[in-house]
Structure 1
Amino acid sequence: MLDTHGRKFVQPIIHKTATHLLRMGLTANQVTIMAFFTGISSGIWFFYNQPILAVIFLWLSGYLDAVDGSMARMTKPSPWGTVMDVTFDRLVEISVILGIAFLYPELQWALLLLSVSIIFSITIFLTVGAVSEKQGMKSFYYQAGVAERTEGFIFLTLMMLVEPFRLEITLIFVAVEIFTGIQRMLEARKLLKDVN
């Protein structure tokens, strides 16, 4: 939701950074890889009891992820860039989930539910993107929802920083992901005109 409706407020800064990195000779795919390594370090920082660094690296990776998309649109988006982008996004989330799970084994059952709910929501997102004839700013149809990347980062941040309520925050995140998956499924039915 925030990605869809709030992007216009931060896009000028993202565009400026994208322009600067292109002038430096970097490609969108190179920045995607930078965002990936920055992001997966987040879970490692958390596991080593450095939650502030974990959050900083998580959000820096998210910023670079937004910048690489702008860079791609300013040059030429590539299908390989899209594959890397979507795959690396999930691996960054997995890194944080694993960092929390290894440090707090008592939360593993809730983190497993979270992982399942993310798989459910992203499966619908990717399937609709693959079968839809519509195309958005990305190289596939982007199906908005209550939980997009920014909301996920907010929940992951709270899970890392708000220790007394880590379980409750995780379960709320699970509920929001399930709601988003159902929301996307219902929208897909209308979008694809499949009323059987």
Structure 2
Amino acid sequence: MLDTKARNIIQPFIGKCAELFIKKGLSANQVTIIALLIGLIPAIMMTMGVSSILAVMILWLSGLFDAIDGTIARKTNTMSPFGSVMDVTFDRVVEISLLLSIGYCYSNEPMIFVILASSIILSMTIFLTVGAASEKATEKSFYYQPGLAERTEGFILFSLMMIFTNYVDILAIIFSGLVLFTACQRFIEAYKHLR
């Protein structure tokens, strides 16, 4: 929801960052790779028990780089299907690393993290399938289906789990509920859009 609603507010800042990166000669795909590498650091930090606040800040930095890469591609007219595949895949790798590190290190009930991972898989399956099946186009290279829990909401929940490690199981249940609600939203929207 926040990705869709707040993008216009932060896009000018993202645009300025993209212009700076373009001047430095960085391509969209290079920034996608940088976002991945930065995004893996918080999971490593959580596993090592290093400052959770610092890990959260680094996670959000990776999210900024993830937003910048698409803007670079649009500004330089270098959007490509493989760039989209790489972007979506690397986003999931970052999320998987966080699920594994937080669940392994801090959960008292690891099955809750299996449920959370399953809900994310279901929601992403609907999201990507609708994107592939849809003839609509957006500024992204596929139809972007908005929902209650988008990437920003995921980052907020991951951040809360990283800070309040004693409550990761409760937060993971809330996260699962939001993602499952989003999956239902997207499925209903797909039924209306694609039939």
TM range (shorter): over 0.9
User: Which deviations, in whole Å up to 9, do the C-alpha atoms of 1:108-128 show, x marking residues without a partner?
Assistant: 111111000000000000000
Q: How does 1:40-189 map to 2 (within 5 A)?
A: 40-50=40-50, 51-75=52-76, 76-189=78-191
Equivalent residue, structure 1, for 2:11: 11
In the alignment, the residues of structure 2 paired with residue 117 and residue 131 of structure 1 have an alpha-carbon distance, to the nearest angstrom, of 21
Partner of 1:137, secondary structure, is coil
In the alignment, the residues of structure 1 paired with residue 105 and residue 167 of structure 2 have an alpha-carbon distance, to the nearest angstrom, of 15
CA RMSD, aligned part only? 0.9
* CA apart distance, 1:105: 5.0
User: Does the Cα contact within 8 Å between 1:120 and 1:181 map onto a contact in 2?
Assistant: yes
User: Does the Cα contact within 8 Å between 2:120 and 2:179 map onto a contact in 1?
Assistant: yes
User: Does the Cα contact within 8 Å between 1:41 and 1:95 map onto a contact in 2?
Assistant: no
Query: Aligned pair count?
Result: 193
Q: How does 1:4-43 map to 2 (within 5 A)?
A: 4-43=4-43
Amino acid at match of 1:34: I
Q: TM-score, normalization: structure 2?
A: 0.96
* CA apart distance, 1:141: 0.4
User: Which deviations, in whole Å up to 9, do the C-alpha atoms of 1:118-152 show, x marking residues without a partner?
Assistant: 00000000000000000111100000000100000
In the alignment, the residues of structure 2 paired with residue 85 and residue 107 of structure 1 have an alpha-carbon distance, to the nearest angstrom, of 31
In the alignment, the residues of structure 2 paired with residue 81 and residue 151 of structure 1 have an alpha-carbon distance, to the nearest angstrom, of 23
User: Which deviations, in whole Å up to 9, do the C-alpha atoms of 1:55-84 show, x marking residues without a partner?
Assistant: 122111100000001101111211111000
In the alignment, the residues of structure 1 paired with residue 109 and residue 25 of structure 2 have an alpha-carbon distance, to the nearest angstrom, of 44
* CA apart distance, 1:102: 2.2
In the alignment, the residues of structure 2 paired with residue 27 and residue 12 of structure 1 have an alpha-carbon distance, to the nearest angstrom, of 19
Greater shift, 18-27 or 100-109, is seen at 100-109
Mark the runs of 5 or more structure 1 residues left unpaired by the alignment: none
Amino acid at match of 1:8: N
User: Which deviations, in whole Å up to 9, do the C-alpha atoms of 1:132-180 show, x marking residues without a partner?
Assistant: 0001111000000001000000000001111332211110000000000
User: Does the Cα contact within 8 Å between 2:106 and 2:165 map onto a contact in 1?
Assistant: no
